[in-house]
Amino acid sequence: MSHLLEVKNLDVKFDTDEGRITAVENISLSVDQGEVLGIVGESGSGKSVTAKSIMKLNPGNTSYNEDAEIILDNENILQFTSKQDLKKIRGGKVSMIFQEPMASFAPAIKIGAQMVEQLLIHKNINNDEAKSISINMLKRVGIADAEKRFNQYAFELSGGMRQRAMIAMALSTMPKLLLADEPTTALDVTIQAQVINLIKDIIKEYQMGVIFITHDLGVIAQVADHVAVMYLGSVVEKGPVNEILKNPKHPYTKGLLQALPDINNLDAPLSPIPGNIPSPLDRPTGCVFRTRCPHHNPEGKDGKIEMKLIEVEPGHWVDQCGIQCGQNG
Amino acid sequence: MGDNLISVNNVSVNFDYQENFISKKQKIHAVNNINIKIKKGSFFGLVGESGSGKTTLGRAILGANKISSGNVIFHDDERDYDLTNMNKQDLKEYRKKAQLIFQDPYAALSPRMTVRDIIAEPLEVMKITNSRQETDERVRDIAAKCRLNIEHLRRFPHAFSGGQRQRISIARALVSNPKFIVADESVAALDVSIQADILNLLKQLQTELNLTYLFISHDLSVVAHVCDVVAVMYLGHIVEMGPSRELFKNPKHSYTKALLSSIPSIDPEKRSEAIELKGEIPSALNPPPGCVFRTRCPNPGIDCKGGEITMGLTEVEPGHWVDQCCVL
């Protein structure tokens, strides 16, 4: 069976005043229907850029490599250029939920009007139908008084409720793929737990594919089926969530897990990953993690080992330099 | 009390609120009747959701918010400062001794000042040093303690990453040689690997410089790791307080229990055992009477449902205080 979404050998580069920046390099990912792919990594690792490429939402100074493919439903999105084609993707087949719902809703337009507007663009329906779909969707995501909220502005809703409304809006067009970019980061833990449960229920109900981007490994453990760990634009490790979190091979994945305060083990010291993420302007050659790797082997340190994912267990892929380093430490 | 640095006695903070100019003036009860004692050299944690009053309480202790009733005493070596009753001279003295580290290291540093000037500014404003040379010495000294390089001092903040910026903010807060630091969500904006680094730095500086912290955070795992004593706040009240290990191992209040269960576990096999709290934190404009948590409580008693039980902490174990509604 072919995948719902397949990203092959994607490079994303930005032309800036300081030079050409490689934001994402040679990424291959796939998502099946009803599956949640989690992407984790620190800020600057290229998680959001990858997701935005799927909707071609990156700014005008972006260039993609020639041989890259982003195949959704047997169509290569990267070859879409006309507004007509892109419209099918943006909000139609693919929807996105952002981190800060206050910034995503237009502040001076009522929530209902925004929901109706996008439905009218993507579905062949009239105003009344769009309104009833919207209100039902608001009810589905657990907003009480949906009719009242429909006529309110984003600022009148609390943070958790705004995020629910955002989810309702993203789902009302019945996309095949949902991109969730840090959807719970700005929320309190109790509200986060509610939103995570809601997203999980909805995925089950509508059988859509989801890419869930977060820096929080705990959230990944709760929602994802598969995980890709990104560092400085490259995937350094990917595989089933259980494998990655319980049996990490790459030193970066291990480092992330060790830096995480675990409430069940308060005696464990917090060990930060030494150093800082290098600027994308001087991205290391070879293994991107080598400048911070605590266990680098001599060749990897010189940047002589190229980045390449190798399958160590069925479905569990690790960068080849990281396999060797991971064994050292 | 010899070993306390800060005593907060029955402190309430109210804000006036008027929806528009013709509507009635209302009071927002941001912080209600709080009693805490912060021991010298301790790492006191304050947790709660947004809107629980953590920041307001932290600012009230620093004298940055007006205290509506009650008082805050800062026990210095020679004398006590009563924050509710301080003249300008005292306030200036107090500012040297109590400092704040902010959440967002991107917003807290002026983009037009060099790192040296940013760190030196408190010294100049408070007239602590007498010569430029002396200032420079102290700046270099504290920068080294915060693991900043000397060459960093000449640069501007835009050249630094989030973690480095937070170290600059810490250096600025510590340069006046304070005894008490309020760290308000100081690691919330950082990546996990950097967060661990900053937490270790704060711990290390605590022993080196003999500091006492009030650490405000919404992240329970972080608080559990660094704090000795923790107070859990909800809607302006402390609902549970105690030594952090005891409190996290043996939570008594249903809000603390719910918070703890809401932390996403990194074990994929332990999915969703969260006690799901319904709804959201009520508005502080009209908090529910009686136990403030009863509108979301997963297992409310018969009495508290009616709001008949007033808020008040009871000691269940030595040093472990829980709101009486959840003990009954």
CB B37 within 8 A of CB B6: yes
Q: Would you call A301 helix, strand, or coil by DSSP?
A: helix
Among A163, A232, A276, A291, most B C-beta atoms within 10 A, so best to mutate, is A276
Q: What is the pLDDT along chain B (328 residues), one digit of tens a residue?
A: 468 999 999 999 999 888 788 888 888 889 999 999 999 999 999 998 888 899 999 999 998 888 999 999 999 888 889 988 888 899 989 999 999 998 888 888 999 999 999 999 999 999 899 999 999 999 999 999 999 988 889 999 988 888 889 999 999 999 999 999 999 988 888 888 889 999 999 999 999 999 999 999 988 989 999 999 999 999 999 999 999 999 999 999 999 999 988 888 888 887 766 777 877 788 888 888 888 888 888 877 777 777 778 888 999 989 999 998 888 6
Whether B262 and chain A come into contact, CB under 8 Å, resolves to yes
What count of CB pairs under 8 Å joins A to B?
123
The answer to whether position B51 is within a domain reads no
The verdict on a CB contact (< 8 Å) between A255 and B263 is no
The verdict on a CB contact (< 8 Å) between A191 and B280 is yes
**From B193, which residue of chain A is nearest by alpha-carbon distance?**
A272
Among B50, B166, B191, B271, most A C-beta atoms within 10 A, so best to mutate, is B191
**From A184, which residue of chain B is nearest by alpha-carbon distance?**
B264
The answer to whether position B75 is within a domain reads no
Of B220, B266, B269, the CB nearest to A260: B266
Whether A217 and chain B come into contact, CB under 8 Å, resolves to yes
Tokens of B65: 């918010």
Judging contacts by C-beta atoms under 8 Å, the chain A residues touching residue B280 are 158, 160-161, 191
Q: What residue numbers bound the domain in which B234 lies? A: 228-328
Neighbours of B24 (CB within 10 A): 7
The answer to whether position B158 is within a domain reads no
The answer to whether position B322 is within a domain reads yes
Closest by Cα among B176, B174, B161 to B202: B174
Residue B303 φ/ψ region, left for φ over 0, alpha for ψ in the -120 to 50 degree band, beta for the rest: alpha
Judging contacts by C-beta atoms under 8 Å, the chain B residues touching residue A197 are 272, 274, 276
Judging contacts by C-beta atoms under 8 Å, the chain B residues touching residue A241 are 268
pLDDT of residue A281: 82
pLDDT of residue A157: 86
pLDDT tens digit string along A224-275?
999 999 999 999 999 999 999 999 999 999 999 988 888 888 888 888 888 7
The verdict on a CB contact (< 8 Å) between B280 and A158 is yes
The verdict on a CB contact (< 8 Å) between B264 and A160 is no
Q: Would you call A165 helix, strand, or coil by DSSP?
A: helix
The verdict on a CB contact (< 8 Å) between B264 and A277 is no
The answer to whether position B278 is within a domain reads yes
- In this prediction, the residues of chain A whose per-residue pLDDT falls under 70 are 1, 296, 300, 328-329
Judging contacts by C-beta atoms under 8 Å, the chain B residues touching residue A262 are 221, 266
Distance CA A168, CA A173 (A): 9
Distance CA B110, CA A119 (A): 44
Complex confidence, ipTM: 0.80
Distance CA B279, CA A90 (A): 32
Of A159, A221, A259, the CB nearest to B264: A221
Nearest-CA distance from B40 to chain A in Å? 23
The answer to whether position B140 is within a domain reads no
Q: Would you call B50 helix, strand, or coil by DSSP?
A: coil
CB B311 within 8 A of CB B326: no
The verdict on a CB contact (< 8 Å) between A193 and B164 is no
DSSP structural state of residue B151: G
pLDDT of residue A128: 94
The answer to whether position B6 is within a domain reads no
**From A254, which residue of chain B is nearest by alpha-carbon distance?**
B193
Q: Give CATH 3.40.50.300 domain extents, chain A.
A: 5-93+175-328
**CB within 8 Å of chain A, chain B residues 74-133:** none
Q: Architecture of domain A5-93+175-328 in CATH?
A: 3-Layer(aba) Sandwich (3.40)
The verdict on a CB contact (< 8 Å) between A188 and B49 is yes
**From A224, which residue of chain B is nearest by alpha-carbon distance?**
B268
Neighbours of B250 (CB within 10 A): 12
The answer to whether position B249 is within a domain reads yes
Instruction: Give the total number of structural domains in chain B.
Output: 1
